[in-house]
Structure 1
Amino acid sequence: MPAKTTTTQTDGFSAEERAAMKERAAELRAEGKKGAKQADGLEALLDRIAQMDPEDRALAERVHVAVTTAAPDLVPKTWYGMPAYANEDGKVVLFFQDSGKFGYRYSTLGFQDAANLDEGDLWPVSYALQKWSPTVEKRVLELVRAAVS
């Protein structure tokens, strides 16, 4: 009988997944100065996500998985107290703003000018996120891949 998983797409990370990410942060610290900076950023990002309300936390965790899957070279960090992902130059490419941060009715996935989303003279750089679904996941993956292309 297969092992039962403790995480669903909308429930967020399991305790085991959180522990594995903390272990990865420790590994990065052991790699030296650059790894330590990335580990500190990952730890700060995970701590910030853990502080969110359950609905926002579940969305932020899914965004984290999508970003690290589609753009593993982006560096996790916090930016103005929000989970964010930066390029090698340290410039923030995208961020997640939970609805509770400013009392909004939805969370936001936002892109900064370092993102390669330019399309003519007008393009969206902020997306409202209310629920995670396969359709939302597919679109987020597309946006992240385009942002780092």
Structure 2
Amino acid sequence: MTRGEKVIAQNRKAFHDYHIEDRYEAGIVLTGTEIKSIRAGRVNLRDSFAQVRRGEAFLHNMHISPYEQGNRHNHEPLRMRKLLLHRQEIDRIFGMMREKGYTLVPTRLYLKNGLAKVEVALARGKKQYDKREAIKQRDAKREMDRAIKDRLR
């Protein structure tokens, strides 16, 4: 995390369900009430994903709660939002998704110098046994840390 960044939401489920390969920083096209809700921290990335269509990247299922002080012009919580990426990045992502079976998942949403950014990652789905192995490793590390902590007392 660099200076000027404030993490708003993280998608921890993505790290459990996918092997993360490449990461990209993308801007998001938002309305006024959406950015106000984001600044208030009312965002959920859990079931969201991104797609490339007709040379443009879009983010689906990112839930931004309606702004509490908004009026009848408030935004729809689950609408499709356009991602702002460089042409070369979109072409590279589209090629990887088409040929090698990758998917594009958002891993975190943050504010950088006042602008909302989303980190999207090219990811490959984990098999069930990979998930169980990750859980075993995490539990073993937790046990080792606990044993070392007890030993130092």
If the TM-score is normalised by the length of the shorter chain, which range does it land in? under 0.3
Q: Larger relative contact order (C-alpha < 8 A, sep ≥ 6)?
A: 2
The structure that has the greater radius of gyration is: 2
| TM-score w.r.t. length of structure 2 | 0.25
Structure showing the higher strand proportion among its residues: 2
| TM-score w.r.t. length of structure 1 | 0.25
Structure showing the higher helix proportion among its residues: 1
